[in-house]
Structure 1
């Protein structure tokens, strides 16, 4: 079984082209990709979750 790539929050922000503040505002409104909080408090996003979220945004925009 292969493990999904885990992206750090700065990598997600770079890919989305948005600031940390804008990302957190979007998350506060209940939108955004699924995140995983590690025991040390850092956030990670699975590549598959980010890709699925991006695909869902594409479908709703059409």
Structure 2
């Protein structure tokens, strides 16, 4: 079984067009994708699910 793709924070920020400071503010409010084991990495599946939930709320 393949391991899930893990994205580094700069990759995530570039993809969603967000600054590091904004990401950490969202994270502090519990609104950012979950970071497994406290690492600054996000699984592709978690990022996609989070992004989908953001676009649903915006519609």
The TM-score with structure 2 as length reference comes to 0.87
Gaps of 5+ in 2: none
Which is helix-richer, 1 or 2? Answer: 2
Gaps of 5+ in 1: none
Which is strand-richer, 1 or 2? Answer: 1
RMSD: 1.0
**CA radius of gyration, larger in:** 1
The TM-score with structure 1 as length reference comes to 0.84
Alignment length, in residue pairs?
A: 58
Moved over 2 A (4+): none
